[in-house]
Amino acid sequence: MKNTELKKRNEEFVQKIKAEDPSYFDELKKGQTPEYFLLSCSDSRVSPSVITQMPLGHMFVHRNIANQVVEEDESFSASLFYAIKHLNVKKIVVKGHTGCGGVKAAWEGNEDPELQKWLGHIRRSLPEKTRETEPSLNELARINVLSQVEKLLKHPVYQQLGEGVEVSGFIFHMETGELEQIYPFAD
Ligand SMILES: [Zn+2]
């Protein structure tokens, strides 16, 4: 398969950047010193660099379904370790979003055997289901972000290396495009 759309879009990207700054890629190849380590959902509508208009080199990003911090997840642990220890990031952001399909599937149930283990991680970050309360999907998305912030603060890598590294939690509202900070709570 020849993907002409990706190729074409990339060529336009290169041309646009070079027109603004001919030495851009010479600078880029020298290395990265990102300020942020960001954990985001994989959802195609919430791309962190796009919604924050962050230029290349500013955010080290890890993505998975429903932006989970899972201690046994070696991919996440390696990203977190590398970001803090070697890239020296001082800000960690957990970013969830409204209308999260991963949160919905964990809450409402899903039949795919391939997804059950991961959905179990998400499910354990959500409240117990009771008859009295039926939180909305967007409330659950907020609860999910706060749970991941909590898990991040307790993560062995953060416990070991996280001194002076600030952790915050955000919700991206895909209905409006707004990025709302929900941790630490503003008063
Ligand atoms: Zn999602």
Q: How far is the CA of 104 from the centre of ligand 1 (A)?
A: 9
Q: How far is the CA of 71 from the centre of ligand 1 (A)?
A: 19
- The pLDDT assigned to 178 comes to 98
Which domain CATH number covers 162? Answer: 3.40.1050.10
Res 186 pLDDT > 70 = no
Q: How far is the CA of 79 from the centre of ligand 1 (A)?
A: 19
- The pLDDT assigned to 48 comes to 97
Q: How far is the CA of 99 from the centre of ligand 1 (A)?
A: 7
Q: How far is the CA of 27 from the centre of ligand 1 (A)?
A: 34
* Cβ atoms < 10 Å from Cβ of 107: 20
Q: Are residues 26 and 63 in the same domain?
A: no
Res 113 pLDDT > 90 = yes
- The pLDDT assigned to 131 comes to 77
Q: Are residues 3 and 91 in the same domain?
A: no
Q: Are residues 68 and 17 in the same domain?
A: no
Nearest to 101 by CA among 140, 146, 70, 130: 140
Q: Are residues 9 and 93 in the same domain?
A: no
Q: How far is the CA of 109 from the centre of ligand 1 (A)?
A: 15
- The pLDDT assigned to 129 comes to 86
Q: Are residues 55 and 123 in the same domain?
A: yes
Q: Are residues 42 and 18 in the same domain?
A: no
Q: How far is the CA of 28 from the centre of ligand 1 (A)?
A: 30
Confidence of residue 187 (pLDDT cuts 50, 70, 90): low
Q: How far is the CA of 132 from the centre of ligand 1 (A)?
A: 26
Q: How far is the CA of 152 from the centre of ligand 1 (A)?
A: 18
pTM across the whole model: 0.95
Q: How far is the CA of 24 from the centre of ligand 1 (A)?
A: 33
For 173, residues 6+ apart whose C-beta sits below 8 A from its C-beta are 97, 98, 179, 180
- The pLDDT assigned to 145 comes to 98
- The pLDDT assigned to 130 comes to 84
pLDDT digits (tens, 9 = 90+) for 43-63: 999 999 999 999 999 999 999
Q: How far is the CA of 81 from the centre of ligand 1 (A)?
A: 24
Which residue range(s) make up the domain with 13? 1-30
Q: Are residues 26 and 41 in the same domain?
A: no
- The pLDDT assigned to 119 comes to 98
pLDDT digits (tens, 9 = 90+) for 122-151: 999 999 988 787 899 999 999 999 999 999
| % pLDDT > 70, the chain | 98
Q: How far is the CA of 67 from the centre of ligand 1 (A)?
A: 7
Q: Are residues 13 and 64 in the same domain?
A: no
Q: Are residues 110 and 160 in the same domain?
A: yes
- The pLDDT assigned to 31 comes to 96
Q: How far is the CA of 168 from the centre of ligand 1 (A)?
A: 18
Q: How far is the CA of 41 from the centre of ligand 1 (A)?
A: 5
Q: Are residues 18 and 95 in the same domain?
A: no
Mean pLDDT calculated for residue range 154-159: 98
- The pLDDT assigned to 151 comes to 98
- Token code pair at residue 24: 């851009």
Helix ranges restricted to H, 31-98: 48-52, 74-81
Please, what sign has the CA dihedral across residues 176, 172, 183, 93? negative
Res 33 pLDDT > 70 = yes
Counted domains in the chain: 2
Q: Are residues 14 and 85 in the same domain?
A: no
